[in-house]
Structure 1
Amino acid sequence: MSEDLVYASALDLLKWYREKAISPVEVTQAALDQIEKYDGVLNAFVLVDEKSALEQARASEARWQAGTPMGLVDGVPTTVKDILLTKGWPTLRGSKSVDAAGPWEDDAPVVARLKENGAVLLGKTTTPEFGWKGVTDSPRTGITRNPWNPGMTSGGSSGGASSACAAGMGALHLGTDGGGSIRIPSGFTGIFGHKPSFGRVPAWPLSPFGTVAHIGPMTRSVGDAALMLQVLSGSDSRDWAALPPSSVDYLEALTQSIKGKRIAYSPNLGYASVHPEVAAAVQKAVQQLEALGAIIDEVDPGFENPLPIFNTLWWSGAHFALRNFTDKQINELDPGLRDVFIEGAKITLTDYMEATQARGELGIRMNKFHEQYDFLVTPTLSVPAFEVGKLAPKEMEEVGAWVDWTPFSYPFNLTQQPACSIPCGLTEDGLPIGLQIVGAMHDDEGVLMAANAYESVSPVATARPDLSKLV
């Protein structure tokens, strides 16, 4: 029964609460027991607040017993990435430079929305230092591991959230994505992750990496992500770029058909090198989409690798974030982040403005591309998960940078389009493979609909890691 509870969807939990078949206290305790049993190996959490979680669960139980649930996710166990402010809890950002004493007096908009809707917050999940890279290890919290194989990375920078999600430590998880940081770990751990259109989910404080950074849901099903997006989306006065509230019902949108939708399938975006097992799994997934009635064209969107644009914006953002650090603090940083800080100092205003202009041209190209195609599908990642403690797989160590094995994610942070990762297969070694679905700007409901259609026929939609290897 415990495994049924920890792997149950949020939608199922809410149904059971409504029927008084089970209590939020039982579900929360099961999630806490799962954390106690497995997180010593996985290291997905930087903070677990058992006392607060159970207090929240008891309050939720009372509301459900009275027939007065507080919101859309009342009593659902949820985690918060340790990049997002949470009142009463430190936000350490994986860095020794942050004083845990606080004070911590504010909730980020997304945390506030979850609290207002009754979510039971279990704790905060790990991140690399300031969320700077695509794997999750940091000077402050050490290495986070993949539930499918603890010798492999869970990805990053929302790697704690992905490990917790895949291991049944909560149903709903908050992630952030500035270059792939929701989709990368979702792809590596076999869960669903959605990067919403920029502004769909309000952010405060704004990421130092600026307008490439998004906040979104990480869950074990598309339905749960749609539910979570319903809670998170909307305006907030603290975010001047937030979109106005939408009348879209994201759960209702899932019921639409993909039949007749025009999908561009790009195996490599015209410039990426892809692991053969990844390529084969994605191609099979595209065939399944076609069998569902989608119209498939194999075509690239026609842009060159925008990595120089991304690096200019990303590195300058890192330098800006750390510009007031002392020499001692800089020397205590993750060495890779310190290198990025140094490179960022070399970027001129002209460099930055040229990158901004090139970014706009890329966005226009994709707007025009989506006049012909409803969706673009690609691999989520060019490789399966690799060994923990490394920034790149062994065969790519000479290249080194995490962006070299994530060629499919960062372009769509530049364009700000909605994009998700959904499991589409397993390697011979039993590691998850992800399919990325990219939608036209602001078409979050379309991306979720397409993902839900695929999930309904996916052979690995409900696959779980064997956690016995962790104990």
Structure 2
Amino acid sequence: MSDIADFSASQLLSLYRDRQLSTVAATKAALERINTYNNSVNAFAIVDENTALAEAQASEVRWLNGNPRGLVDGIPFTVKDLLLTKGLPTLRGSKAITSHQSWEENAPAVDRLREQGAVLLGKTTTSEFGWKGVTDSSLTGITRNPWNTDLTPGGSSGGAAVAAALGMGTLHLATDGGGSSRTPAALTGVFGFKPTFGRVSGYPSAHTGSLFHIGVLVRTVTDAAFTLNVIAHSDVRDWYALPDEKQDYTSDLDKGVAGLRIAYSPNFGYTEVDVEVAALVKAAVDVFAKLDAIVEEVDPGFVNPRPIFQTFWQAGAAKLLRGFSPEQQAVIEEGLQATAKEGDRLTLVEYLSAQDAREALGREMQRFHQNYDLLLTPTLPIVAFPVGQNRPQSSIDPQHRDWTPFTYPFNLTQQPAASLPCGFTKNGLPVGIQIVAAKYKDLLVLQAAKAYENVFPFIMPLGASN
């Protein structure tokens, strides 16, 4: 039963098809993992065991009748608690949201998975409204890293990353407004993918607007591609949704990287990186060269865009809190309140100037990708740090503010980006390498990630399979 929880989606589907495994057994295996590990890591805000088993039983009947509902019939999945799920509360990690209301709608990505028979296990934890890069809140408490539970898994999709690492479900919907899927992917050693903005429809609109991408956290690149086949469809509720391309993201996944022009930027030319992290990322870059890619060390050339990002982040927080009563605002985390106050001080001219700067950054990256198919960077300049703090206390960033410099630029530019595990420090902590492509080149990111994964597959957290 324990081994079943480690199977990929494609493995599960093959076993279902050959009637060697039931969907109920697969769901029970995922629930067993949750029951075994969740008390230690706190990856779930809600587990709906009864509904999951009922959905698995209905799926099993469909398979026995030779009539599966869709591509993911019977595959256990989870949803980050920022995305709507019909029948379950979406509390967004906040005491400001009451559960005593009607929950009658799915987010588009949740709709697509449920329409095709996937089995919903529950909602994974997030920081309050996803406002910070770690996963804790006054509502759900602290989510912990499975490699060392004294450390953070990052955030804000930390619950989804931990669930993926420990086999607590197969597919995990996540969000990414500044690195919220890639940061925890790097710190927990799983694969996190942020598609091009609009590739996966979002609804309702996030307070961070077009910074907010919907993606996945999984154990294998193939599972990410497989999930994208299901969720990458236009939805009329999303005004920004890209038109359907009818792309099979699992096709040509093993194409490799031979002949691709790859830029490698070790530090963007302006940030510091931990020595062990830098060495592991460089070793991963060398793998791409050995796979016959044309690799050149070069920075993308932009000035640190943190001030641009901060303007949108603070304005989004101000917009969010203005929608709440004084009583609701009083229970919101102080750090988020402080961010909102900064947003309230912004002028319209400052906001529009940031928009101009964002567009300039996007044009700069479009020109960059005229010469390079892919950009490789560290996902983060550091490894996991202790829980209970919002940012690391390290010499890498003396002000302890800009500890995710490699992720948020590509929310501003709306490009597809992924974090792929690329090794471990001497203390046994995972490190991630980031792969970035031009807008709309989602498949290229997945192909490059798969080429590396074929050489260095996922490694389970110590003790997780015991």
Q: TM-score, normalised by structure 2?
A: 0.98
Could you tell me which amino acid in structure 2 is paired with residue 425 of structure 1?
Answer: G
Judged with a 3 Å threshold, the aligned counterparts in structure 2 of structure 1 residues 169 and 407 are, in CA distance, closer, same or farther, namely: same
Secondary structure of the corresponding residue to residue 14 of structure 1: helix
1:408-423 equivalences under 5 Å are 408-423=406-421
Compute the displacement of 1:165 (Å).
0.7
Measured on the aligned residues, the alpha-carbon RMSD in Å equals: 1.2
Residues 1:463 and 2:462 aligned together: no
- The answer on whether the counterparts of 2:80 and 2:125 sit within 8 Å (CA) in structure 1 is yes
CA deviation after TM superposition for structure 1 residue 468, in Å: 6.2
- Deviation for aligned residue 1:335: 1.7
Aligned to 1:445: 443
Deviation per residue, 1:38-96 (Å, 9 max, x gap): 10111100100000000010111111111111111110110000000001100000000
Deviations 1:182-204 (A, max 9, x none): 10000000000100000100000
User: 2:399 matched to 1:399?
Assistant: yes
In structure 2, the CA distance between the partners of 1:384 and 1:351, relative to structure 1 (3 Å rule), is same
Query: CA contact under 8 A between 1:187 and 1:433: conserved in structure 2?
Result: yes
Whole-Å separation in 1 of the counterparts to 2:458 and 2:305: 34
Give the distance between the partners of 2:203 and 2:323, measured in 1 at CA.
20
- Alignment partners' CA distance in 2, 1:448 and 1:34: 28
**Inter-partner Cα distance in structure 1 for 2:151 and 2:88:** 29
Shift of the alpha carbon at 1:257?
2.4
Task: Report the residue type matching 1:295 in the other structure.
Answer: I
Equivalent position of 2:251 in the other structure: 252
Distance 1:71 1:337 in 2: 41
Cα distance in 2, alignment partners of residues 83 and 318 from structure 1: 15
Where do residues 90-101 of structure 1 align in structure 2 (5 Å cutoff)? 90-101=89-100
TM-superposed CA distance for 1:234, in Å, is 1.4
Q: Which amino acid aligns with 2:445?
A: V
* Equivalent position of 1:280 in the other structure: 279
Aligned to 2:15, what secondary structure does the other structure show? helix
Paired residues for 1:313-462 under 5 Å: 313-395=312-394, 399-401=399-401, 404-458=402-456, 461-462=457-458
Matches within 5 A, 1:204-283: 204-283=203-282
Structure 2 SS opposite 1:173: strand
**Following superposition of structure 1 onto structure 2, how do residues 160-179 of structure 1 map, counting pairs within 5 Å?**
160-179=159-178
1:75 corresponding residue in structure 2: 74
Question: C-alpha separation between the residues in 2 aligned to 1:253 and 1:143?
Answer: 40
Identical amino acids, percent of aligned pairs: 54
Partner of 1:145: helix, strand, or coil?
coil
Separation in 2, partners of 1:468, 1:237: 41
What are the superposed Cα offsets for residues 84-123 of structure 1, whole Å, 9 maximum, x if unpaired?
Answer: 0001100000000001011111111000000011100000
Conservation of the 8 A alpha-carbon contact between 1:148 and 1:467: no
Equivalent residue letter for 1:135: V
Q: Say whether the 8 Å CA contact 1:61–1:75 is kept in structure 2.
A: yes
SS in 2 for 1:122: strand
- TM-superposed CA distance for 1:330, in Å, is 2.4
Measure how far apart 1:437 and its partner are: 0.1
1:70, 1:140 → 2: CA distance? 36
In 1, the alpha carbon distance for the partners of 2:101 and 2:72 equals 29
Partners of 1:193 and 1:223 in 2: CA distance? 12
4+ residue segments displaced more than 2 Å: 324-331
1:35 is aligned to: 34
Shift of 1:398: 5.6
Distance in 2 (alpha carbons) for counterparts of 1:331 and 1:452: 46
Give the aligned length. 465
Distance 1:353 1:282 in 2: 37
SS in 2 for 1:56: helix
State how far apart, in whole Å, the 1-side matches of 2:427 and 2:101 are: 44
| Distance in structure 2 (CA, Å) of the matches to 1:179 and 1:347 | 20
Tell me how far apart the structure 2 counterparts of residues 228 and 28 of structure 1 sit (CA, whole Å): 18
Q: Which moved more, 1:106-115 or 1:334-343?
A: 334-343
2:182 touches 2:418 (CA, 8 Å); kept in 1? yes
Q: Residues of 2 paired with 1:225 and 1:365: CA distance?
A: 28
* Partner deviation per Cα, 1:390-432 (whole Å, 9 max, x = no partner): 112222586233xx11000000000000000000010111111
Q: Deviations over 1:131-158 (max 9, x none)?
A: 0011000011010001111111011000
Q: 1:247 offset after TM fit, Å?
A: 2.6
Gaps of 5+ in 1: none
